Every structure is written in C-alpha cells, then in structure tokens.
Amino acid sequence: MRFTYKLQCELPFTLCLPNETFHVALGDGPTFSLGINNETYSLRFISNGKMSTAFASREMLLANFPDLQTHDFSEKMRTVVFHEEHEDIEEASLPALDNLVEHMEEDLVKQGARYDDPTALAADAKQRLADLSGPELTEFKLRHQQLFHARPKRLPLASDFLRATNRLIRQYMVEVDDPFVEEIGLGHLALTTMLGIFIEFSVDGLILESGPFVDKVPLVLKRPWRPITPENTFSVHKGVGASASPDFARVLLRRAENLVERTAYRNAIAEAAAALEIVVAKSIQRAMASQGKSQSEIDTELDSTKFDFQKRAKIQLKNWRGKGASDLDPSLWTQIVSDRRNHRNAIVHSDREPSETDARAVVARFRRMAELILAL
C-alpha cells in the first residue's frame, strides 16, 4: 500500500516567486521539495452537516463545485507552500493494535457523539464493535493500523517542513532584498486561513486523516491568551512612560525564545549568550555604583575582564555581589561554560547552524543562569 503525506501552509505574506518547486537541502539528508503557489483560493462549504474548507485553484474549485458563482470565492490566499511525499509499506509491517475499544471510542468522539455518563462511551464502543460484520471489523482494524503508522510522522514532517520553508525564505530575503518577509514560526501560521500546517494522510488515494497541525500554539491566539492583571497594566504604563528603555537583557531573552520558534537557531543562541553577558555586567555595575564607585572606576574594573567572561561571571561577580555564577548553581555553570565554548563561540565565528534540540536547551540554560543573577 502507498501512503501519501501532504503538507501545506499559507504564509502571512506573499513571496514574489513563480509557481515552481524548490528543492531545499536540509543537512546531509535528501532534499526537501517545496512547491510555491500564488494562485490558491479557500472555499467554505458544508459537508455532512459540518463546515469545511477547501484550498485549491479557482479552476479546480469550479470543477469540483459546479454550482459555484464568482462571489462565492474568498479573496485569493497569500503564498501557499506545499510538500508531498510517498511511502510504500506492506500490510504485515503495520503496527498491531492493543485495544480496539479505545479506537472505536475515538471514532465516536470524532463523529460528535456526546454522553452524560462517562462509562456510556465505552459501553457504546463495545456494542458497536460487536455489531460489525467480519469484513467491517477487518476494515476498521486496517484503518486504525494505518493511522497508528502515519500519525507519529506528523511532528518530524512538520518540523522539516517548517525548517525547509524558513530556509527558502532566508534565501529569498538575500536574493530579492524583500523587506516585507521574515522567518516564521507556528504562531504565525496559526493565524492564517489554514490555521497552521495543514497535513493530509492518505493510503492508495483514500484520505485517512487531515487537519491543521499547530503543535503547542493554540488557536486561541486569535484572542487574548495571556491573563493580564491590573498590576501588569500599571507596569506597562510606568515602563513606557519612563525615559529608560526596557531591560535589554530581558528583551534579548524573549527574542531568543522567539527565534527558536522561527528555526533561527544560530541567532537564538547568540542573543541568549549576549543577554547573559549583559546581565553579568549590569549586576557588577549596580553593585559598584551602590558602593559609591565612579563611572571611571566601574569602566576600569569591567575592562579588566573584557575578554574573559568566565573570570567576570565567576570571580568578579562574586567580589562585588557576594556570589559568582558558579556559586549560584555549580552544575549549571559547568554547562554554561561548555555551551559558550561548543555553541556560542563555535557559531559566532562560523556559518554552522545548530540543531533545534541544542538551541532550545542552550537558550533555556542561558536564561536560567540570567534569572539567578538577576535575583541577586
């Protein structure tokens, strides 16, 4: 049997590229094909009593919905990026199923079934399984085996798709000098017509499952999603009304986390490392100023460790604040030293792009150390 995996997303802007396929290199593996389409429309329609959305060219929509009129179309979508790949697998290689009742419960919930008694769902599922004929039960098992095989591929496929899309965007930015595009994260895509990366699994031409993939980014992004207290609001008023800008180290830490989401891993590590350096320097400055030291004395003290961050964070910080970075969390400090050598220094002076796993971990560690120092 042939599995087909289709992924597509609408960008939050338009790439001024022709409708062609671009083969994007991702590390040492095979290239990842990305199609560009600037002629896609969306159409809302009712299917089996539920509202659905179709994404296709105007011609294809007219062919599949012959009663359409011109005014039925929404506005043309922005650039749609898509990918399709295939996998041939024997039925005997499909994963085994442990609990058929749970799979029937899943089908019932998808169909909109509602139960007042929590035990009623399981009872209904058992009865419906018992009512299936031999061929129907075989078909039911096969479909869920296929789903069990396909679903684990959602995350790695979506990750590669996002990485490849951002690589294409970066190349476009360089070659076209377009100031209106930027790298994207799942948060950007969750707000588009497709509500994320739209993924469709099919087997031998029959659709198994389809829908948007948004991972941890909730669709509630269309509305306020952070609880804001009166104290938060007051702080914002106070902050923007002050002559001083927000703490730049905190800005860099937030920016680093955002860059990870947009697959700009190199930039994320550089920003997080810079934030930690600023936090250490500012902490020493504040301590010296509180002890009556002049700006000249502060500058001289910091200049002595200008090219030795370890000495500044471990010894100089301890001299003025009572604790150095290694005292705050010895194991974390050891890892920070390693991260600066193997990641921060290695990427700043090269064109190496770290992995997502490394970037997330490094940024989190830099942030944790910065928070410990800020709390001194």
CB–CB of 264/256 below 8 Å? Answer: no
Determine whether 86 is exposed, middle or buried from the number of CB atoms within 10 Å of its CB (0-12, 13-18, 19+).
exposed
**Which residues are 116's β-sheet partners?**
none
**Residue 33 and residue 257: Cα distance in Å, rounded?**
28
Residue 80: its pLDDT value, please? 94
Token look-up 């098992």 returns 141
- What is the chain's pLDDT, residue by residue, as a tens digit (376 residues)? 999 999 999 999 988 888 999 998 887 778 899 999 998 888 877 766 677 778 888 788 877 777 766 555 667 889 999 999 999 999 889 988 888 888 888 878 777 777 777 788 888 888 888 888 888 888 888 888 898 899 889 888 998 999 899 988 988 887 887 778 888 888 888 878 888 899 999 999 898 888 888 765 555 555 666 677 888 888 878 777 777 777 888 888 888 988 888 888 888 999 999 999 999 999 999 999 999 999 999 999 999 999 999 999 999 999 999 999 999 999 999 999 999 999 988 877 777 778 888 999 999 999 999 999 999 8
Residue 70: its pLDDT value, please? 53
Residue 68: its pLDDT value, please? 65
In sequence order, what DSSP letters do the residues of 204-232 get, joined into one string? TTEEEEEEEE-TT--GGGGS--S---HHH
Residue 174: its pLDDT value, please? 78
Residue 234: its pLDDT value, please? 82
CB–CB of 373/283 below 8 Å? Answer: yes
Of the candidates 218, 122, 169, 143, the residue with the CA atom closest to the CA atom of residue 22:
169
Half-sphere exposure at residue 78, Cβ-oriented, CA atoms within 13 angstroms? 13
CB–CB of 263/162 below 8 Å? Answer: yes
Residue 62: its pLDDT value, please? 77
The answer to whether the predicted template modeling score (pTM) of the entire model surpasses 0.85 is: no
